[in-house]
Amino acid sequence: MGYAARAMRRPRYFVVLFTAAVALPLLACASGAPPAVRVPAPVSPAGGAFRVLLPPPSAGAGPFPVVYYLHDLWGSDAGLWRHGVARRLAARMGNGEAPAFLLVAPEGHRGFWADSWDGRRRYERWVMAELPAQVAARWPVRSGPRSRAYVGVSMGGAGAVRMGLRNPRETAAIVSISGLLVPLDAAFVRDAKLFVRPALRRVFGPPDDDALRRADPYRLLGAMSAADLAAAPPLLLLAGTEDKYRLDDASALFTKHAREKGLTVQLRLTAGGHDWRYWQATTEEGILWAARRLAEAERS
């Protein structure tokens, strides 16, 4: 549990959619910026705002698979745009280096991508159910088996693993980058820094509440049926060997448990810390890996 305790110690209405969907891509083509669309929403149990990177016009009319990107504890839906990852992904799709896909980055605040114990925020349910419906109502996207992938960083890495394994038949790939893949229990909350404990308790409630156990990736793995384990998509786990919270150790431990359950897991531990100096390249790598798994699933 040493790395679990250290894992939390880092501080750190309606849009006119026609205009956004048509004008923003045209402006993006002229400026070289990614064709981003941000859809705000009121704060509600059903979720919130999300940001979308559209495929280039040369990709055709679709339908396209969807990669859901889940940000870290101190991040937001704007992270991929702020750090240039969205721009590079758009360029790679534009020159044919990457298959076309829709990238959706929801705003998860500090909700650990979980359904809170008191029902006030349901981020997991939103991303898995309501958000895909909202996206499909606005853009031509694939549905059904192997039509989506989940990619996440830190807090989002744990969320990506959890959502992908809960929805194995519709998911073609799961990517965790510096993922918070630690056992979630009362000791984890107790050992967290003082300024983080209120956020943990807002989401997970009392230490004996079921919300904490439902979000534990190890409990989820152990509770999966044989059929769901057989249907589970491949996982890619990336982490930096200088991660100050030792989430490289956490990724290695989760890989061991997942492989024992028969899952296909690639583990890549390379030099880097728990910051955007490491995530700049690895987030792009992880999203491209997921997009290619989606393309392979469509051809099969």
Counting residues of the chain whose pLDDT is more than 90, the rounded percentage is: 71
**pLDDT band per the 50, 70, 90 thresholds, residue 158:** very high
**pLDDT band per the 50, 70, 90 thresholds, residue 1:** very low
Average pLDDT over residues 105-119: 92
pLDDT of residue 35: 53
**Interstrand relation of 171-177 and 235-240 (parallel, antiparallel or unpaired):** parallel
pLDDT of residue 9: 44
pLDDT of residue 48: 81
User: Whole-angstrom Cα distance, residue 25 to residue 37?
Assistant: 8
Cβ atoms of 287 and 151 within 8 Å: the answer is yes
Q: What is the pTM of this model?
A: 0.87
Position with higher pLDDT, 192 vs 130: 130
pLDDT of residue 42: 53
pLDDT of residue 208: 73
pLDDT of residue 190: 82
User: Whole-angstrom Cα distance, residue 119 to residue 92?
Assistant: 40
pLDDT of residue 199: 84
User: Whole-angstrom Cα distance, residue 40 to residue 162?
Assistant: 25
Domains of the chain: 2-299 (3.40.50.1820)
Listed residue (146, 141, 198, 138) closest to 167, CA to CA = 146
